[in-house]
Amino acid sequence: MKKAELILVAIAIIAIGLKISHVPGGAVLGILSMGLLSMLYITLSFLLFKAKGTLQTLFSVATGFTFSILTIGILFMLMFWPGASFMTLIGSISVSIVIIISLIKYSSSKLPFYKSILLRSVILCLICATIFMIKDNWYIENQYGDIPEYIEAYKKAQADPDNEELRREANAILDSVYEEKYKYSRK
């Protein structure tokens, strides 16, 4: 179980690098690896954390649910999908609570169960903090650096999220570039 988690984390890290580097397939690899990692956490957390007893089993299931939410939130952030900030915020708060509980329990009992949860929680929190520290428009500027008119239209649409016309204008610019570049139309 631990090997599956490590393999999925390694694939997710590689996928993030590929996505940021604009390598085709990086996004798909990221979606698959982080989605599977999230499913692993939400369904098999009690086996992954090697829970013994009812209290540890309940804590491991709650921790798995929390890790799953945060993993999906990170995926949404990296894919720039709606709802990313909310999910990542809820996941971060939940993981902070898990860290506090694990720290208290580990300091009093020194059980490896709490140590493994604490280690995973801290790593997820660091990844999340790193993503939150990235400048808001960095990803758009990195992804669409060769389309400056789209970047400007996107920034205007983000500044006024209730203005549907600005969002349509930004999408129209991107569509026209794709139509010209790939002879493709979404219409």
Is residue 15 very low, low, confident or very high in pLDDT (cuts 50, 70, 90)? very high
pTM of structure: 0.78
94: number of Cβ within 10 Å: 18
**Rounded distance between C-alpha atoms, residue 37 and residue 17, angstroms:** 17
**Rounded distance between C-alpha atoms, residue 145 and residue 72, angstroms:** 26
pLDDT beyond 60 at 78 = yes
**Can you read off the two tokens belonging to residue 146?**
């060769």
Give the pLDDT score at 24. Answer: 87
Is the distance from CB of 125 to CB of 92 less than 8 angstroms? yes
pLDDT tens, position by position, 114-145? 999 999 999 988 888 887 777 667 777 877 88
pLDDT beyond 60 at 40 = yes
pLDDT tens, position by position, 50-76? 888 898 899 999 999 999 999 999 999
- The alpha carbon torsion through 14, 16, 21, 26 (nearest 10 deg) reads 80
Which candidate, 150, 96, 105, places its Cα nearest to that of 124? Answer: 96
Is residue 93 very low, low, confident or very high in pLDDT (cuts 50, 70, 90)? very high
